[in-house]
């Protein structure tokens, strides 16, 4: 009898063990990641478009018959040499004293504008000469250790800015001279009463961007005919959400991607415009947008064919650090009012609250709560809870 009881007890024990093993919770499969230390970059990403920094619109100087423009978009033009359009003015009307005086006053005003533009050019030239002298002196002081490298960079930036200002002043002189020529031509044609062909020359070196009036036609004074610009002097304009634009500052670095080439271009934020505008999104939502202007650090090669009005993607770096403790943002979730992750210890998921600093769309900075090398769960599902056994899905 005792042996029979012993057998029954053994059977009960074995069956109980089988039932416990059969109904015990199975480990939850999950994806794991390791807490790492490395660089972290926070960017503001948005689409942008290229545009020529200085574009010139050639317009009709007088009312008359414009001959057909033979140039095509993309044709190169040379300042004061390439004829971009030809005009046959209409027969002049009889002028009264007042109209003649207005034309003469306009010519004198154009002469004064030329003088003012030349004076501005001379002023900038003097400032540039002084800046170049200061740059040379600063280089010597930096080489001797008397000044910091930042002072040299500031002097170089000042000299470069004045060089661009000098170039712009030269363009302003040419424009003023052309305006003077137009004013004189209008006065001479009116006085002479002739219908001679008037050639219009390109005001700058560059290429034809657009033809605004190609066919021969009778046009009024000021009718836009074509646009001219230099494709080697491009900038990028990106309209950011105003909530994102507040973090963008002048001088921040920019990565230029998805422009059609096989490499990433680099740029710098030149200006954040102070005034925003309303734009309707693709979903029909009104958004406040702000234009941000970006300069190329190195102009794209002509062979790369980056032109005016091309689409690009810009990534403006608003914060970066080379050595931070970071985790994938896919591992983070909210636990009441704090951030938390599931830390894996001994095959068990443990709820761990963490303090998060900067983050981007892929990674986040961990200020406290985790250490480098800790294993955590990424993309935690509803089955992953505190104290649940987990196993790597891979």
Query: Does 283 or 196 have the greater pLDDT score?
Result: 283
CA–CA distance from 358 to each of 42, 314, 333 (Å)? 7, 20, 15
User: What does the DSSP assignment read for 329-361?
Assistant: GGG-EEETTEEEEEEEETTEEEEEEEEEEEE-S
Mean pLDDT to the nearest integer, 360-389: 90
Q: Which two tokens stand for residue 256?
A: 């230029």
Q: Which two tokens stand for residue 269?
A: 């934020």
Handedness of CA 299, 301, 306, 308 (dihedral sign): positive
What CATH number belongs to 26-37+322-392? Answer: 2.40.420.20
Q: Could you give the CA distance from residue 388 to residue 394 in angstroms, rounded to a whole number? A: 18
Asked if residue 114 lies in contact with residue 176, where contact means CB atoms within 8 angstroms, the answer is yes
Q: Could you give the CA distance from residue 154 to residue 176 in angstroms, rounded to a whole number? A: 32
Query: Does 177 or 314 have the greater pLDDT score?
Result: 314
Q: Which two tokens stand for residue 120?
A: 């501005």
Number of other residues whose CB lies within 10 A of the CB of residue 65? 15
Q: Could you give the CA distance from residue 384 to residue 185 in angstroms, rounded to a whole number? A: 83
Task: For domain 57-87+195-228, say whether CATH 1.10.275.10 is its number.
Answer: no
For the ranges 141-155, 278-292, 309-323, 331-345, the lowest mean pLDDT is seen at 141-155
Output 128-132 pairs: Cβ under 8 A, ≥24 positions apart: 128/159, 128/162, 128/163, 128/165, 128/166, 131/155, 131/158, 131/159, 131/162, 132/159
Give the pLDDT confidence of 21-71 residue by residue, as tens digits.
Answer: 555 567 888 889 999 999 999 999 999 999 998 888 988 887 888 889 989
Query: In the beta sheet, which residues pair with residue 267?
Result: 254, 296
Q: Which two tokens stand for residue 317?
A: 């770096």
Helix axis angle, 97-144 relative to 149-192, nearest 10°? Answer: 160
CA–CA distance from 369 to each of 36, 90, 354, 358, 387 (Å)? 13, 83, 5, 15, 18
Mean pLDDT to the nearest integer, 211-217: 88
Query: Does 138 or 238 have the greater pLDDT score?
Result: 238
Handedness of CA 322, 327, 329, 332 (dihedral sign): negative
The answer on pLDDT for 302 being more than 50 is no
Q: How many CA atoms lie within 13 A of 232 on its CB side?
A: 7
* Reported CATH class of domain 42-51+232-321: mainly beta
For the ranges 73-82, 194-203, 295-304, 380-389, the lowest mean pLDDT is seen at 295-304
The answer on pLDDT for 14 being more than 70 is no
Give the pLDDT confidence of 81-111 residue by residue, as tens digits.
Answer: 999 988 876 665 555 677 777 878 888 888 8
Query: In the beta sheet, which residues pair with residue 65?
Result: 88, 218
Q: Could you give the CA distance from residue 206 to residue 294 in angstroms, rounded to a whole number? A: 21
Percent of the chain topping pLDDT 70 = 87
């Amino acid at each position: 009898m005792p042996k029979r009881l012993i057998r029954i007890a053994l059977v009960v024990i074995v069956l109980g063990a089988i039932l416990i093993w059969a109904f015990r919770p199975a480990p939850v499969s999950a994806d794991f990641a390791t807490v790492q230390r490395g660089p972290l970059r926070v960017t503001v990403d948005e689409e942008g478009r290229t545009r020529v920094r200085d574009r010139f619109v050639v317009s009709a100087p007088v009312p008359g018959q414009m001959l057909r423009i033979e140039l095509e978009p993309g044709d190169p033009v040379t300042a004061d040499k390439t004829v971009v359009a030809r005009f046959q003015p209409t027969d002049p009307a009889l002028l009264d004293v007042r109209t003649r005086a207005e034309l003469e006053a306009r010519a004198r005003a154009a002469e004064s504008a030329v003088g003012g533009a030349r004076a501005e050019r001379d002023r900038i030239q003097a400032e540039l000469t002084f800046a170049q002298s200061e740059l040379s002196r600063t280089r010597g002081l930096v080489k001797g250790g008397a000044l910091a490298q930042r002072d040299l960079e500031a002097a170089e930036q000042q000299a470069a800015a004045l060089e661009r200002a000098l170039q712009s002043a030269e363009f302003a002189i040419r424009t003023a001279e052309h305006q003077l020529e137009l004013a004189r031509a209008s006065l001479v044609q009116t006085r002479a009463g002739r219908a001679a062909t008037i050639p219009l020359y390109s005001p700058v070196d560059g290429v034809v961007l657009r033809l605004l009036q190609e066919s021969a036609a009778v046009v009024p004074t000021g009718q836009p005919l074509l646009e001219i610009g230099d494709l080697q002097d491009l900038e990028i304009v990106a309209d950011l959400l105003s909530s994102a634009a507040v973090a963008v500052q002048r001088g921040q670095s920019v990565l230029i991607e998805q422009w059609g080439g096989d490499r990433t271009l680099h740029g710098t934020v030149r200006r954040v415009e102070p005034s925003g505008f309303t734009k309707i999104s693709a979903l029909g939502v009104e958004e406040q947008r702000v234009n941000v202007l970006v300069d190329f650090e190195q102009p794209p090669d002509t062979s790369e064919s980056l032109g005016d009005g091309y689409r690009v993607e810009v990534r403006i770096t608003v914060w970066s650090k080379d050595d931070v403790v970071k985790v994938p943002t896919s591992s983070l979730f909210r636990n009441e009012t704090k951030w938390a992750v599931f830390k894996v210890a001994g095959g068990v998921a443990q709820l761990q609250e963490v303090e998060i600093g900067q983050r981007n769309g892929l990674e986040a900075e961990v200020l406290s709560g985790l250490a480098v090398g800790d294993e955590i769960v990424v993309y935690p599902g509803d089955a992953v809870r505190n104290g649940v056994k987990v196993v790597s899905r891979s």
